[in-house]
Amino acid sequence: MRSQAFSNLAMCRAYDQCEQQEETKELSMPRKLSAEELPKPQTNMWDFAAYYMRFQRIQRGMSGEALGRVINVSKAQVSRIESGRNRLDANQAIALDKLWNTGRLFYLLVWYAAIGHDPQWFAQYLHIEQRSEMQRIYEANVIPGLLQTPEYAEALLRSGTEANPDRILADRLQRQDLLLRDNPPHLTVLLSQNALDWPVGSPEIMYGQLARLLEEAQRDNVILRALPRTWATGAHAGLDGSFKLLSGDEFGDVAYTESPGGGRLVSSPPDVRSYGIRFERISAKALDEGASFDLIQKIMEEMR
């Protein structure tokens, strides 16, 4: 089984020649993907899985439509997986291994990709964030980047170890243009009280930041709720850390978590659902919008 998998991998050496010969037979694809659009297998495990799925399909003369029937997706979704815009999930990987008798190669690629560090995690996250139609955000410690004031963001960045905080600050503020577009994503934001009253910068900076939250919460596409630090709230599912759930027609549903020096995008449906359940459990502990505004205003008054 292992020798067969490695012999399959060796076929990648002839990939360019194979693609030129076989792509002309691919009538079901709307057009040939350019080299720039194809995932680079050296980039990360997700891109290698996409690259190798496409290679195996072309090697066997299969159309995108035929492969879609095997992994239960449309021809367009096959194209999105092969271009790296969507990701294989575990069930699809198992179906590929069964179809092409590759042992557990695709399943293991997806497994290692899901648990490993992705060197391109932030670029991929930005791509998804800018194309999202709905975001559910839970923040345990700080105000979310999309809602930060320039002064708050700068105070955070200069307290860290970033080599070029000015560039990161400019990029972060530019990302906020997402909220100004004609059809901005719908945001549901749950904020721990720790994020609301942890001192950042100065009382003036914090006052301005909380005022910005109340202003943004007036938008039709923004729901803002607070999770109070009380005995009634007690231990809750958000104590494990911050995360986001993003949804969009282009990529489906993904979860995102971040840690110092790295981050993780989760696209496996069972794993994304587990984050959704976690979000709902945190939401059940949060105040309603009116009580959340009252808490924020109380914290603002204490900063005067």
Same domain, residue pair 106 and 132: no
From CA 62, how far away is CA 58, in angstroms rounded? 6
> What's the confidence (pLDDT) of residue 35?
61
Residue 62, number of CB atoms within 10 A of its CB: 21
Of 115, 147, 171, the last residue of a domain is 115
Q: Is the pLDDT of residue 28 over 60?
A: no
Same domain, residue pair 106 and 192: no
Same domain, residue pair 110 and 47: yes
- Please give, one letter per residue, the 3-state secondary structure of 220-255: CCEEEEEECCCCCCCCCHHHHCCEEEEEECCCEEEE
Q: List the end-to-end C-alpha distance of the chain, in Å, as a whole number.
A: 69
Same domain, residue pair 81 and 133: no
139: closest CA among 235, 241, 216, 209?
Answer: 241
What single-letter DSSP state applies at residue 199?
-
> What's the confidence (pLDDT) of residue 120?
62
Please tell me the pTM assigned to this model.
0.68
Buried b (16+ CB within 10 A) or exposed e, 95-111: bbbebbebeebbbbbbe
User: In which domain, by residue range, is 109 found?
Assistant: 2-115
Same domain, residue pair 210 and 237: yes
Residue written as tokens 């003036």? 204
172: left (phi over 0), alpha (psi -120 to 50) or beta: alpha
Q: Give Cα 86 distance to the centre of its chain.
A: 11
Give the tokens for residue 65: 């439509």
Question: Cβ(105)–Cβ(246) under 8 Å?
Answer: no
Least confident residue range of 78-82, 86-90, 266-270, 276-280: 266-270
pLDDT in tens, 192-247: 999 999 999 999 999 999 999 999 999 999 999 999 999 999 999 999 899 999 99
DSSP states along 20-45 = HHHGGG-TTSSSPPPTTTSPPTTT-H
- Which CATH number do you get for residue 216? 3.30.870
Same domain, residue pair 290 and 221: yes
Same domain, residue pair 270 and 139: yes
> What's the confidence (pLDDT) of residue 4?
43
Same domain, residue pair 169 and 239: yes
Least confident residue range of 47-51, 178-182, 258-262: 258-262
Of 98, 115, 132, the last residue of a domain is 115
- Which CATH number do you get for residue 52? 1.10.260.40
CA distances, 234 to each of 92, 120, 197, 216 (Å) = 40, 37, 18, 28
Same domain, residue pair 110 and 127: no
Same domain, residue pair 139 and 37: no
DSSP E strands in the chain: the ranges are 134-139, 186-192, 222-227, 243-248, 252-259, 262-266
Residue written as tokens 């630090």? 229
Give the tokens for residue 135: 């975001």
From CA 35, how far away is CA 63, in angstroms rounded? 19
Q: Is the pLDDT of residue 285 over 50?
A: yes
The domain tally of the chain equals 2
Same domain, residue pair 231 and 186: yes
Of 115, 142, 161, the last residue of a domain is 115
Same domain, residue pair 95 and 157: no
What single-letter DSSP state applies at residue 259?
E
